[in-house]
Structure 1
Amino acid sequence: MATVQKSLGNIRRSFAPWADATQSPVIEFDRVTKRFGEFKAVDDLSLGIYRREFHALLGPSGCGKSTLLRMLGGFEEPSQGDVRLDGQSLIGIAPHRRPVNMMFQSYALFPHMDVAGNIAFGLKQDGMAKSERDDRVAEMLKLVKLDGFAARKPQQLSGGQQQRVALARSLAKRPKVLLLDEPLGALDKKLREETQFELMDLQQEMGLTFLIVTHDQEEAMTMADRISVMDQGRIVQVATPEIIYEAPATRYVADFIGSVNILAGTIESSTGGTTRIATTSGVTIEAETAGDLATGSEAFFAIRPEKMRLSRQKPADVSINALHGEIWDIAYLGDMTLFNVKLESGDIVRAATLNSVRGASEQIGYDEAVWLTFTPDSGIVLAG
């Protein structure tokens, strides 16, 4: 009788130890600073990561995310602060003596060894008996779906298969924490998307803590339980993917994650959870806010393209939050179409429509006059 594989969705949906005051992080970066000469790669950073969490460090090149990963792995030491695992400081402990393992972007497989030899390398270095090594290698090959590939050399494998061997080698020693440094960067888009879900399933099945470094927002949003968005050596927001996307804490986060329209202006009025913003584009926006904001202060309204409704005529039920312009650019992406709309002020705003019907007619075209409308709760007000 075939085994029915159960969905891990319920596990991931209910997993939120950071919201439980009785839970303590398994990984702690405590006011960590890392200097290279006069340059601060990491600047007085604190972060807690919980057991069995899939955590992503997300940011542009040079933001300090890989340096943070290397300090946890033991390849760099902090200039100041402490790094702790299970409450114990890791300062001064050699990489091979830490219960963590790192998987690099390059995979770093030994070309003269076969797949089995690559996976068993760390186990052999630790003095594990050959029979036990062989059993562990077989277990890892089955885990990454490479049964029958034990005798092949790395150059006989595809990029995706090499990535799986590197993953198996990283997991073979059963570390408490697996560190992944841009692990999927060398894969093509389709294989990368497939591997993301496989990594999520593996992480849950093995009960490990994963910490991944990536500059790919979609990758972080897909895999992570929480995301730390980094900028210039600091963390600017730590939250679940949904909160990061729907409620960014700053303009930087809003602009870095996905596509967004950010309209600048000043607060015209703010009371009772409703704020009116006079934008520099010449229109007034009404938005929902959690609290009152100071009249006359600078503010920004951030709204995602898919939250805007695009139409040739101004909807009869709309009295506020209506932008008028003309179609400037169109990008057909298959599942959706993106429209760049040039407003009367000259500003460009992007809207997205879902292509839910095959071969839909009456598609809006270039240079057409259009209206963009949205509800007060469609976007978020960010302070200047």
Structure 2
Amino acid sequence: MKSLGSIRREFAPWNDPNAKPYIAFENVTKRFGDFTAVNNLSLSVYEREFFALLGASGCGKSTLLRMLAGFEEPTAGRILLDGQDLRGIPPYRRPVNMMFQSYALFPHMTVEQNIAFGLKQDGMAKPAIEQRVKEMLDLVKLTQFSKRKPHQLSGGQRQRVALARSVAKRPKVLLLDEPLGALDKKLREETQFELMDLQQELGLTFVVVTHDQEEAMTMADRIAILDKGEVMQVATPAEIYEAPASRFVAGFVGNVNMFEGTVAAREANTARITGASGAEIVVENAGDAAAGNSVAFAIRPEKIKVSSRRPEGAANAMEGEVYDLAYLGDMTVYHVKLGDGQVVKASALNSARQTDDPLTWNDRAWISFRPDAGVVLTR
């Protein structure tokens, strides 16, 4: 069985026509004066899903999260949670908790007091609070730091305290607004996997807002790409990366090379594209592109091979010159300038310590790729 990328877990209720969304944004619009932050947006999130809202600043992702939390009300449309319309329900009465980027911990309270705060507000009995706090400390591996105050903790430890406090009340949905933005790169990468494991252990629905592509790709079951308050594509990380729905999505997520051209011929699922850097490109993932259509052929750098000689039998090959080169340890990145001036980015995994075909600046080089290596985009 072939699949677009590795399958992280056997969980895909969105593919079941009988499955009902747990969270539903139905034709939601949010305006602030003359500015439209969210524009007639519809979106579904399923129970126990780790869902990411990904986009640049100002795309509307945080506004969506705030409306779900109850801090903002939609100008039009409605938001449903487990079938209930949330309009008019204040934040403290929604089965939703939100974890902010700043963590918002009480500086004068210890770790265990911070975790217990919301439980006390709800009037939970003291023995039950103590038991719940103990469970949360064990869950986030902070038992030995229970008596410390926030300023005595590292950034990663404070993040885990905020997370424990957020899930202590056992909300149906946990909202995370740029939750790892304050952490350094290495700690952020470690925490991404911790969050994934914790979400599956708790069985909660997580909705995370981020502008970090790697963060969304690592953690989420599905990603919604947003731009100017509208949804550009909703799909799994592998589908977003390997089968983007548009030029915008292809260019926004990861690195990509775009060859603009015209479909000269179409047969079954294969298309021949001309006008792209003066060469004909044979593509097997032609989608719904018809002969005569103006299209873009999108291909990721790692799908392109660079060599000093033209590869024998290659269906797609173009000659150019090594314009730039970067050795990054685990991979080498090449920028190859083609005859028409287009610079193509290619990356090669350094699986061996030595190479039989070394290339350097200003060398003549060939780029080549398989017919199934990229996709045709009509919009």
TM-score bracket for the superposition, by shorter chain length: over 0.9
Distance 1:369 1:379, change over 3 A: same
- Which residues in structure 2 correspond to 1:199-348 (within 5 Å)? 199-289=195-285, 293-318=289-314, 320-348=315-343
2:138 to 135, 142, 154: 142
Deviation of the 1:361 alpha carbon? 6.2
Residues 104, 180 of structure 1: 8 Å contact kept: yes
Deviation of the 1:290 alpha carbon? 5.0
1:173 & 1:332 partners in 2: Cα distance? 49
CA offsets, 1:56-105, max 9 Å, x none? 00111111001001100011110000011110011111111100100111
SS in 1 for 2:145: coil
Match of 1:21 in 2: 17
1:373 to 338, 358, 368: 368
Residues 95, 172 of structure 2: 8 Å contact kept: yes
Deviation of the 1:293 alpha carbon? 3.2
Mean alpha-carbon deviation: is it higher for 255-264 or for 359-368? 359-368
Match of 2:39 in 1: 43
1:173 & 1:334 partners in 2: Cα distance? 45
Residues 271, 291 of structure 1: 8 Å contact kept: no
Distance 1:292 1:82, change over 3 A: closer
CA offsets, 1:185-215, max 9 Å, x none? 1111111111111111111111000000111
For the pair 1:168 / 2:164, whether they are aligned, the reply is: yes
Residues 286, 376 of structure 2: 8 Å contact kept: no
Residues 199, 206 of structure 2: 8 Å contact kept: yes
1:296 & 1:290 partners in 2: Cα distance? 13
Quick one: which amino acid aligns to residue 284 of structure 1?
Answer: E
CA offsets, 1:329-357, max 9 Å, x none? 11222211111111111111100000111
CA offsets, 1:28-58, max 9 Å, x none? 1011000011111000001110000000001
Deviation of the 1:366 alpha carbon? 1.2
- Which residues in structure 2 correspond to 1:40-119 (within 5 Å)? 40-119=36-115
1:348 & 1:31 partners in 2: Cα distance? 41
Task: Quote the sequence identity (%).
Answer: 64
For the pair 1:350 / 2:342, whether they are aligned, the reply is: no
Distance 1:64 1:291, change over 3 A: closer
SS in 2 for 1:13: coil
Quick one: which amino acid aligns to residue 334 of structure 1?
Answer: G
CA offsets, 1:306-338, max 9 Å, x none? 1011100001222x3111111111122221111
1:190 & 1:114 partners in 2: Cα distance? 26
Deviation of the 1:127 alpha carbon? 1.0
1:295 & 1:21 partners in 2: Cα distance? 34
Task: Kindly report the root-mean-square deviation, in angstroms, between the aligned alpha carbons of the 2 structures.
Answer: 1.5
Quick one: which amino acid aligns to residue 19 of structure 2?
Answer: Q
Deviation of the 1:297 alpha carbon? 2.3
- TM-score of the superposition, structure 2-length normalised? 0.96
Deviation of the 1:126 alpha carbon? 0.8
2:20 & 2:8 partners in 1: Cα distance? 18
Residues 55, 226 of structure 2: 8 Å contact kept: yes
Residues 265, 300 of structure 1: 8 Å contact kept: yes
Deviation of the 1:11 alpha carbon? 9.9
SS in 2 for 1:197: helix
Quick one: which amino acid aligns to residue 350 of structure 1?
Answer: K
Residues 97, 174 of structure 2: 8 Å contact kept: yes
CA offsets, 1:95-121, max 9 Å, x none? 111001001111111111111111111
Residues 272, 291 of structure 1: 8 Å contact kept: no
For the pair 1:133 / 2:139, whether they are aligned, the reply is: no
Deviation of the 1:275 alpha carbon? 0.9
Quick one: which amino acid aligns to residue 331 of structure 1?
Answer: A
Residues 29, 47 of structure 1: 8 Å contact kept: yes
Mean alpha-carbon deviation: is it higher for 285-294 or for 66-75? 285-294
Distance 1:149 1:255, change over 3 A: same
Residues 275, 292 of structure 1: 8 Å contact kept: no
Query: Please, which runs of 5 or more residues in structure 2 have no aligned partner?
Result: 1-5
Deviation of the 1:258 alpha carbon? 0.6
Deviation of the 1:291 alpha carbon? 5.1
CA offsets, 1:166-199, max 9 Å, x none? 0001011000000000100111111111111111
Residues 286, 375 of structure 2: 8 Å contact kept: no
CA offsets, 1:218-260, max 9 Å, x none? 1111111111111110111111111111100101111111110
